[in-house]
């Protein structure tokens, strides 16, 4: 595993965009523009909307044929993603500074955070796509002070025909209608941006992210031991019945609990503990999150039903971004099926 090196930050958090100043080389690092989380997407003629991507925020610095991939904190991760570096070398530029999201792509063609993590950990056969949504510097010219619309107009033609890189397009219109449509398609959400605003490192407000969440019941099939300062239990293991009556693993949930709730849940689960896995097939060894360890995993009779909110399903059949909502005593476990 290569040792990550921190680049020197020359554009820092500020309430104003970087000053327009010519330079023969791009900045070593530009702190990324940030997003404000909102429940609904904004609308109006000043806003455009992009697909929210499930990967790693990554800047690409190109100078005299050398490509660096920089994390949102300025770490140089170029050696982790040689295929993406090779793709960016094909851009017909002398120098540039791009902002985007690096994503592993699942069999369904959608970004998959678990695959991105596997690629970062050294897995080789992972398809990566660098989605580029901003251009801050090009061939000696700083561009961050320009309106977003102008920056994107100059970015799009640079990426045409570059395999492994893709322009993250936007659309105008009713932001909430766009968000709901993307939610129906299984997307994570959208990011709404003011089309006439400059790039402002660290600012939250002229970019707004609104997510998609789903909710349904799952059967609690086990729990894991707590780690660190966590009390009682670490996460609940979830499942559902398929049409053949098999109990299918759906992933885990480790958020949405108070300390008291963790204790109460453990008291309910301990009398149900069994010495064998109740699932029809074992959980995948690779995928989202850490693999389950037998020494810290407890299986239970599939009796308790929990309501869970979640972003969507990953390509490996596990829940993404799940949150515990509460126990459901009004629905028998045998009736729990995967919805949608």
Each residue of 73-84: pLDDT tens digit? 899 999 999 999
Residue spans of alpha helices (H) in 17-167: 82-88, 113-120, 148-155
**Is the pLDDT at 7 greater than 60, yes or no?**
no
Q: Residue 133 pLDDT > 70, yes or no? A: yes
Last residue of a domain, one of 211, 241, 260: 211
- Mean pLDDT on 4-13: 40
Contact 114, 120 (CB under 8 A): no
When pLDDT is averaged across residues 215-240 and rounded to a whole number, the result is 93
Instruction: State the pLDDT at residue 54.
Output: 81
CA 172 from centre of chain: 23
Higher pLDDT residue, 113 or 84? 84
Residue with tokens 């000043």: 46
* Active-site pick, 12, 13, 52, 92: 52
N residues, the chain: 340
Centre a 10 Å sphere on the Cβ of residue 285 and count the other Cβ atoms it contains.
7
Shared domain check, 49 and 141: yes
Q: How far apart are CA 57 and CA 75, in angstroms?
A: 11
What is residue 13's predicted lDDT score, i.e. its pLDDT?
47
Q: Which pLDDT score is estimated for 114? A: 76
Q: Which domain holds residue 229?
A: 214-335
pLDDT of residue 230: 85
Domain co-membership, 24 together with 115: yes
Rounded Cα–Cα distance for residues 316 and 340 (Å) = 16
pLDDT computed for residue 205 by the predictor: 83
Within the chain, residue ranges assigned H as helices are 82-88, 113-120, 148-155, 175-184, 259-269
Average model confidence (pLDDT) for the chain?
Answer: 89
Token couple for 263: 């204790």
Q: What is the DSSP string of 209-223?
A: EEE--EEEEEEEEEE
Contact partners, residue 235, CB within 8 Å, separation at least 6:
223, 224, 252, 253, 254
Of 31-35, 149-153, 336-340, minimum mean pLDDT range: 336-340
State the total domains in the chain: 2
Per-residue pLDDT at 11 exceeds 80: no
Is the pLDDT confidence value at 320 over 70? yes
Q: What is the C-alpha radius of gyration for the chain, rounded to an integer number of angstroms? A: 23
**Cα 325 off chain centre by:** 21
Q: Judge if 297 and 320 occupy the same domain.
A: yes
Domain finish residue from 186, 211, 236: 211
CATH number at residue 168: 3.30.470.30
Decide if 301 is catalytic.
Answer: no
12: pLDDT confidence band, cut at 50, 70 and 90? very low
For residue 1, is pLDDT > 80? no
Those residues whose C-beta lies under 8 Å from the C-beta of residue 57, and which sit 6 or more positions away, are 32, 71, 72, 99, 100, 101
Q: What is the pLDDT of residue 33?
A: 95
The pLDDT of residue 21: 64
Of 87 and 117, the one with more pLDDT = 87
Last residue of some domain: 180, 211, 242? 211
Predicted confidence at residue 340, as pLDDT, reads 64
pLDDT of residue 117: 79
Distance of CA 284 to the CA centre of its chain: 20
Task: Name the more confident of 279 and 285.
Answer: 279
């Amino acid at each position: 595993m290569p040792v990550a090196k921190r680049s020197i930050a020359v554009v820092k958090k500020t309430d104003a965009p970087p000053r327009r100043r010519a330079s023969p080389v791009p900045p070593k690092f530009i702190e990324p523009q940030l997003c404000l989380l909102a429940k609904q997407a904004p609308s109006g003629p000043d806003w455009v909307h992009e697909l929210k991507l499930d990967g790693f925020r990554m800047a690409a610095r190109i100078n005299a044929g050398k490509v660096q991939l920089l994390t949102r904190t300025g770490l140089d991760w170029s050696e982790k993603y040689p295929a993406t570096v090779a793709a960016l070398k094909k851009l017909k530029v002398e120098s540039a500074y791009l902002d985007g999201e690096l994503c592993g792509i699942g069999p369904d063609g959608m970004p998959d955070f678990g695959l991105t993590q596997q690629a970062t950990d050294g897995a080789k056969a992972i398809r990566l796509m660098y989605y580029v949504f901003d251009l801050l510097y090009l061939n000696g010219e700083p561009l961050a002070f320009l309106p977003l619309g102008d920056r994107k107009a100059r970015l799009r033609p640079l990426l045409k025909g570059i395999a492994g890189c893709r322009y993250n397009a936007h659309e105008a219109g009713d932001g909430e209608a766009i968000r709901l449509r993307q939610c129906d398609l299984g997307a994570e959400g959208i990011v709404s941006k003011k089309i006439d605003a400059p790039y402002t490192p660290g600012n939250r407000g002229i970019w707004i992210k609104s997510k998609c969440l789903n909710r349904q019941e799952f059967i609690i099939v086990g729990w894991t031991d707590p780690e660190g300062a966590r009390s009682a239990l670490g996460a609940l293991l979830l499942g559902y019945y398929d049409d053949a009556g098999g109990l299918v693993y759906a992933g885990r949930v480790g958020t949405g609990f108070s300390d008291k709730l963790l204790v109460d849940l453990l008291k309910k689960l301990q009398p149900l503990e069994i010495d064998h896995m109740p699932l029809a097939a074992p959980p995948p060894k690779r995928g989202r999150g850490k693999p389950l360890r037998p020494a810290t995993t407890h299986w239970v009779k599939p009796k308790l039903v929990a309501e869970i909110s979640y972003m969507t399903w990953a390509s490996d059949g596990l829940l993404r971004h799940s949150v515990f909502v509460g126990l459901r005593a009004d629905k028998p476990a045998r009736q729990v099926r995967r919805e949608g």
